[in-house]
Amino acid sequence: MSLSPAQFDRVLSLNNEFAKETSFLEPQGLTNLLDRAYFTKTVGELDAFVIAMSHNSPHDGINFSWFKQRYDSFAYVDRVITANHARGQGHAKSLYLDLIDQATKDGIAMVCCEINHEPPNPGSVAFHEKLGFEMVDTAPLSEDKTVGYWIRKL
């Protein structure tokens, strides 16, 4: 999916508003992600967005690489963000279900992601569990951050 210049700016702004949970991006970083993406989708004027890679994406992130070393077929949620004003309206669920639908149509075996384990993110855990995800492992990323690796088989 290509974004209009206005959409690109809104995605970048929303991403960086939540940089603590995802990671800060310069414009070129977002361009690189979009160029590598398997699936991208936005909601509204920018109430929410998702960027996902597939096992075939030329992506090199540490968490993506963890899945790449273990699984042959997957769609990896690099980031999904919902603006504060749009929370609780089902946008993230809708984006995930659209990704799951596309991955199923493409014969991909699972959708995967990481969730902060330490510090904990109980809201994200509950959300993913409701969608049928299960945690398969954890890994430390730094002294004060550990992630859980989650999958949903399709």
Residue 132 pLDDT more than 70?
yes
The widest CA-to-CA distance across the chain, in whole angstroms, is 40
Here the CATH number for the domain that contains residue 115 is: 3.40.630.30
Nearest one of 128, 54, 58 to 97, comparing CA atoms: 128
> Residue 21 — very low, low, confident or very high, per pLDDT cuts 50/70/90?
confident
Q: What does the pLDDT average to over 105-115?
A: 97
Q: What does the pLDDT average to over 52-56?
A: 98
> Residue 1 — very low, low, confident or very high, per pLDDT cuts 50/70/90?
low
Instruction: Give the count of domains, the chain.
Output: 1
pLDDT of residue 52: 98
Number of neighbours of residue 154 by Cβ within 10 angstroms: 18
Residues 6+ away with beta carbon under 8 Å from 134: 150, 151, 152
CA distances from 71 to 57, 74, 148 (A): 13, 7, 16
Percent of all residues in the chain with a pLDDT value above 90, rounded to a whole number: 88
Residue 19 pLDDT more than 80?
yes
Report residue 96: phi and psi, to 5°.
Answer: -65, -45
Range of the domain at 101: 5-153
